[in-house]
Chain A
Amino acid sequence: MGLRVPKGIPHRRILCVAALLALATGSSVSFATGADSLPQATTYTTLPRAPRDTAPFSAGTGVVVHPTAPRVVRATPGGAAVAVLPSLQLGNPTWVPVVDTAPGWIKVLLPSRPNRATGWISGRGDDLQVARTPYLIKVETGARRLTVLKSGRVTGQWTVAVGAPGTPTPLGRTFLLASLSASDQRSGSPVLPTGAHSATLDTYGGGPGTVAFHGWPRKTVFGKAVSHGCVRVPDDALRALSRVPLGTLVIITR
């Protein structure tokens, strides 16, 4: 759509902070997130060994968790490590939805490629905040409809724009990953990235092809399948979505 310019700023900022902190504190120290042999579970990474979501259209548990320190992500409860889930995502605290449990372990959705990536993290320890979100977000691509539910009741419904036939909005279950302020987006609109990615665009505008909710300056797009995978929503829908806790499930159906 040509509104956003590749910048790669998040990576540069992280590297910059790491370098400065290392200078300030002595280069001998290591970072808790410095698990060199495991990828971080972020919107920028691909986790080929992460298991796929086995119930991609289910409403889940309503529980979200926030690791305040990095957590190892495993393919099965206590099984092989496949990634590290950091405590921050795009400047926001990491909140991921819990979709299954086993004794001592919880299965969460991940923000990385491939779509529907999941993983198991330990449910034990003090470095894990747990909370409940009463919200559920539904996107019906065929009807071009966005629905926000709270405690099972519809609180808002809007006609939106979804992915064009060649760049469809990916179907399945994902979650609200972050909230990015309007002033920091090239479009001037707040952006609410999800954990999903375009299945047809490996990169877009210099980013990793993250699917997001965002506004659009012309109302004529709403009701059409014209985007590169994102869901373009009216301003009042964006305001409503901006109040929904991170980690809340987004279920995208045909």
Chain B
Amino acid sequence: MGIRRNLLAASALVVGAAAVLVGAATMSQAAADETPGVPGTAYGLSAEGPVRIQPIPAAVSRDGKTVHRSVLRPKNPLVSASAMEVTTNGRNSQASAADVSTLQRQVAANAVSARCENGRGVSNLAGAVIGGRDIDANPAPNTTIPVTIERVGTASVTLNKQVRQADGRLAVTGLSIDMPMSNGKRQTIDVASVVCGTPTDASSTNEASGDMEGPLGDMDDSGRPRETGDTITGPTRDVSTQVQQERVEKQAPAPIPAKVNLPVAG
């Protein structure tokens, strides 16, 4: 059942049968640019979950100089888009994508962009139609719209997503999709993402840098490359503190037997 649901979900997310290799050169360039602790980054498209897409295109400014990357048509299996451009010089960053379409065309926009202006995040969605609804071009931060995908489930589409990271910087994403899969997994898709501001928490940045240099490459301890913080309005969540202060009250669920055969030690 779970396998079938996963495959259905994967099929629903795939935008075309002609999915081909993401350019190896582009991906290696993105990896090379990912110096930990840098003040400015801009990404066109990235995804986490059963289908993972490393940021493409990706611009990272190490020294305040302007870095610009573009991809005419990012080849990937999840999102149809054209003319993705990303630029950052550390203080100001911008990411944009044109002709965006995904989730069986239930999420579409003529253009999606996110940018940092002196530490503030701004997103713009031109001609956006989500779940059959026309969307305001300048949605409030973290505007979320549920979109039901037939035979798969309900995706959560967040516009102008703004998340304060553990290091104090602000991550702004023009279009962010969270699709629950079977067995508690999630597929996320981010289009037009920038990170604004300068780190204020050196320890958090150092922690991330260790992960970047470690054997997992760009995956951090929470299974995601950069999003380790909570929303902009909430405090940083730390389970260790909850345990120590005995603040865990939610009851653990009773198990649901799985259809798996395991030969055990009799």
Q: Is the CB of A178 within 8 A of B265?
A: no
- Of A101, A121, A206, which one neighbours B263 at CB under 8 angstroms? A206
- Assuming the contacts A69-B48, A105-B240, asked whether A179 and B219 have C-beta atoms less than 8 A apart, the reply is no
Q: Is the CB of B264 within 8 A of A191?
A: yes
Q: Is the CB of A28 within 8 A of B265?
A: no
Whether A46 sits at the interface, judged by CB under 8 Å, is no
Closest to B260 in A: A91
Chain B: interface size category: 35 or more
Dominant secondary structure of chain B at its interface with chain A: loop
Tell me which residues across on chain A come within 8 A of B51, comparing CB atoms: 21, 25, 29
Stretch at the interface among B59-67, B96-104, B149-157, B244-252: B244-252
Q: Is the CB of B241 within 8 A of A35?
A: no
Q: Is the CB of B224 within 8 A of A127?
A: yes
- Assuming the contacts A69-B186, A132-B250, asked whether A1 and B266 have C-beta atoms less than 8 A apart, the reply is yes
Tell me which residues across on chain A come within 8 A of B211, comparing CB atoms: 72
Q: What is the minimal beta-carbon distance from A105 to any residue of chain B, in angstroms?
A: 6
Q: Is the CB of A17 within 8 A of B184?
A: no
- Of A74, A87, A163, A248, which one neighbours B185 at CB under 8 angstroms? A87
Chain A 24-73 interface residues, beta-carbon cutoff 8 Å to B: 24-32, 34-35, 37-38, 43, 61-72
Q: Is the CB of A128 within 8 A of B222?
A: yes
How many residues does chain A have at the interface if contact means C-beta atoms less than 8 Å apart?
Answer: 108
Chain A 1-35 interface residues, beta-carbon cutoff 8 Å to B: 1, 3-7, 9-10, 13, 16-17, 20-21, 24-32, 34-35
- Assuming the contacts A25-B14, A204-B264, asked whether A17 and B3 have C-beta atoms less than 8 A apart, the reply is yes
Q: Is the CB of B7 within 8 A of A17?
A: yes
- Of A32, A90, A95, A197, which one neighbours B260 at CB under 8 angstroms? A90
In the bound assembly, the distance between CA atoms of A62 and B198 in angstroms comes to 39
In the bound assembly, the distance between CA atoms of A34 and B223 in angstroms comes to 11
Q: Is the CB of B261 within 8 A of A65?
A: no
Whether B71 sits at the interface, judged by CB under 8 Å, is no
Whether A144 sits at the interface, judged by CB under 8 Å, is no
Chain A residues engaging chain B, CB cutoff 8 angstroms: 1, 3-7, 9-10, 13, 16-17, 20-21, 24-32, 34-35, 37-38, 43, 61-72, 74, 78, 81, 84, 87-88, 90-93, 95, 98, 101-106, 121-128, 130-134, 163, 167, 176, 178-186, 190-191, 193, 197-198, 201, 204-207, 209-212, 214, 227-230, 242-248
12 A-B residue pairs with CB within 8 Å: A24-B11, A26-B20, A29-B47, A87-B185, A124-B222, A124-B239, A128-B239, A134-B251, A178-B258, A193-B264, A201-B265, A214-B264
